[in-house]
Amino acid sequence: DVKVTQSSRYLVKRTGEKVFLECVQDMDHENMFWYRQDPGLGLRLIYFSYDVKMKEKGDIPEGYSVSREKKERFSLILESASTNQTSMYLCASTINWEFHSNQPQHFGDGTRLSIL
Amino acid sequence: QKEVEQNSGPLSVPEGAIASLNCTYSDRGSQSFFWYRQYSGKSPELIMFIYSNGDKEDGRFTAQLNKASQYVSLLIRDSQPSDSATYLCAVSNNDMRFGAGTRLTVKP
């Protein structure tokens, strides 16, 4: 089974802090994704990566950046946290960029982030 | 117009009944369709995927796809209280789009 591990289940930070959310997958997947999930809005894509050191903006990249230095690890960074970034953050991975549109995404357990 | 639309619910059915969950999408070029189940406070887990028009059955679950109508549905037969969750529809055409989910409650 694919295992996608997010470093924290719950996180509380203060406005203006730099926040790091970590995600690791153990199945050698090429593609990794960061979403946020808010009530009534569903899952919204923040950034994704299809290879080491590669990144692409999703639908809502403003206020976020990402880092993928190793294939198994994809980090989401909130440069200066704001209260409107309070949300559930989900990391996901799929196996291969060329066929990724046909591949289901495997999700981590999520990080519930509160910005005070 | 949202790209993937689902009725937010809640949809309430008695135990043993058939639960019918619906999803419409706007991108006519969409190729792949997925249903995820998400328990409260948990992450989404894949339960079904379908690529071709028609029905696909897996145990108590049946996914139905009608590309001409841009419609995909999930039927859950013999619903159990453990099926109570939010069901997310996801549609992909080189990138995946999720609906906001339908909350299903199965009452004993």
Could you report the per-residue pLDDT of A15-37, keeping only the tens digit for each? 999 999 999 999 888 899 999 99
Locate the chain A residue with the closest alpha carbon to B100: A42
Contact A90 B34 (CB under 8 A): no
Q: Rounded distance, CA A45 to CA A43, Å? A: 7
Token pair in block for residue B43? 């992450």
State yes or no: pLDDT of A99 exceeds 60: no
Could you say which of B43, B99, B101 has the minimum Cβ distance to residue A110? Answer: B43
Q: Rounded distance, CA B21 to CA B90, Å? A: 13
Predicted pLDDT at A101: 57
Instruction: Express each pLDDT in B21-58 by its tens digit.
Output: 999 999 998 889 999 999 998 899 999 999 999 999 99
Could you say which of A40, A42, A101 has the minimum Cβ distance to residue B98? Answer: A42
DSSP string over A48-78: EESSTT--EE-S--TTEEEEEEETTEEEEEE
Contact residues on chain B for A25, CB-CB shorter than 8 A: none
Q: Rounded distance, CA B61 to CA B79, Å? A: 10
- pLDDT above 90 coverage of chain A, percent: 74
State yes or no: pLDDT of A98 exceeds 60: no
Task: Read off the pLDDT of each residue in B74-103 and give the average, rounded to a whole number.
Answer: 93
Could you say which of A102, A106, A110 has the minimum Cβ distance to residue B32? Answer: A102
Among B75, B61, B59, B58, smallest CA distance to B23 is for B75
Q: What is the mean pLDDT of chain B?
A: 93
Contact B42 A104 (CB under 8 A): no
Contact B43 A109 (CB under 8 A): yes
